[in-house]
Structures are given as C-alpha cells and as structure tokens.
Amino acid sequence: MRNIILPGEEISDQPMRLSNTYVENGKTYASVVGMLDEEGRYTPLESVYSPRPGDTVVGIVVDVRHHGFVIDVNLSSNATLPARDTRLRLEMGDLVFGKIGRIFPSGDIDLQDVRKLSGGKIFDVPTAKVPRIIGKKSSMLDMIRESTNTKIVVGNNGYIWISEQGNIPLVMKVIEYIVENAHKKGLTDKMSEFIKKHME
C-alpha cells in the first residue's frame, strides 16, 4: 500500500541521506509531502527545485551584460552564462538550454554547455513531476516525441521547451495528464493508451 507522508513524519529509524528529508536523533523524517512505498522508498510529491551541478535546465535570456548573459531558470535568482565560456550571440528573449556548472556559496549559478533553442515556446510544470515526464531512461519522453513528431527539451528546473512543428496541442494535453496523474502506477502504459485515443 502506498502511503502519503506529511512533513515531520518518520521515514526510517535509521539516519539516511535523502533529498527532502532531515535527520533528528538518529531517525529520518520527511520535510515535504511525499509517498512511502512497501520497500520504504520515499518519493517527494511536492517540492521546490534546488539546483545541482550537472542538471539540465531550460531558460530565457533576460539580460545581456558585458560579463555575460543573465538567464531566468525558474529559480529565486537568475543564472549567468559568462561571456568567456561561450561564443553564442544571444539576445533578450532567446530560449536556451544548458547545464548547471558552478554553484557559488552566495547562491549565484553559472551555466555551461549552453545551446540556443530556435523558435518554439516554453511553459512550466511543477518540478516534482519532471522525473515522471522523462520516465525511466527517458522512455516517456521518447514516446511523446515519437507519437507527436515534436522536439521537446525538459529541464530539471520545471521549464519545458517544445518546437514549432508537430502536434503541439497533443503534447500540451499529454503533459497536463502526466502532471495530474504523476503519483499513479503504470503511467507509461496509460500514456500510450491516452495518446492512441487522442490521435484519432
């Protein structure tokens, strides 16, 4: 039986290092709403995105400065792409994706391996649902890409980019469906049914 866990409920009587948990008196407690399955694995259902080096993020260029580009990546402060790290010529409003490089103790974030996304559009989803949109070894994402003929880039920060060509209304519907049903089992099978139904 799955079990919905509220902040402050015990996950394990052993100290464990997991995201969205904390240890007190040698026991591990949840710090956000999550789910605990039979094997004692804890999955957060609601969470605030906290960046880690190497995460893929999608962003919007909000400022062009001498030292680099300022990019909105759905965080409380904007990330920067230092000018010396890139040859791209970006303008305000350009959509990009890249990886999180360094995170400074002050909370400033540098991006690396940034590429420009031409055209298309961005929308956001709750970050706790992103792993479900990607699926195991990106199985879910591949399925959506194939069946709708679109290019999609999913950022860990909850921003999703979709290309201009392909069946965009269907992609939007599919992602909405995943976000609503993210906590359910056998989602990939349900998704293929859902897509079949809407393709006709």
Partner 1 sequence: MSKKEEVFKDGKRPDGRANDELRPMKMKVGILSNADGSSYLEWGGNKVICGVYGPREAIPKHSQDPKKSLVKVKYSMSTFASKEEHGRAGPSRRSNEISKVIKEALENMVFTEKYPRTQIDVFVDVLQAEGGTRVASITAAALALADAGIPMKDMCCGVAVGKAGDQIIVDLGKEEDNLGQSDMPLALSNRDKNILLLQMDGLLTLEEIEKAIELAEKASDKIHEMQKKAINSVYTEEPEEVFTM
**Site residues (vs partner 1, CB under 8 A):** 1-2, 4, 6-9, 20, 22, 29, 31-33, 35, 37, 41, 43-48, 50, 76-77, 106-107, 126, 128, 131, 183-185
Closest approach, Cβ 85 to partner 1, in A, equals 24
Closest approach, Cβ 101 to partner 1, in A, equals 19
If the CB atoms of residues 32 and 168 are measured against partner 1, the closer one turns out to be 32
Q: Rounded to an integer, what distance in angstroms lies between the CA atom of residue 37 and that of residue 22? A: 18
Q: Rounded to an integer, what distance in angstroms lies between the CA atom of residue 43 and that of residue 128? A: 9
Closest approach, Cβ 61 to partner 1, in A, equals 18
If the CB atoms of residues 41 and 115 are measured against partner 1, the closer one turns out to be 41
If the CB atoms of residues 49 and 69 are measured against partner 1, the closer one turns out to be 49
The DSSP call for residue 136 is: G
If the CB atoms of residues 45 and 88 are measured against partner 1, the closer one turns out to be 45
Closest approach, Cβ 193 to partner 1, in A, equals 15
| SS3 of residue 176 by DSSP | helix
**Do the Cβ atoms of 107 and 77 come closer than 8 Å?**
yes
Q: Rounded to an integer, what distance in angstroms lies between the CA atom of residue 33 and that of residue 173? A: 26
Closest approach, Cβ 47 to partner 1, in A, equals 4
Query: Read out DSSP for 47-115?
Result: ------TT-EEEEEEEEE-SSEEEEE-SSSS-EEEEGGG------TT-EEEEEEEEE-TTS-EEEEEEE
If the CB atoms of residues 88 and 187 are measured against partner 1, the closer one turns out to be 187
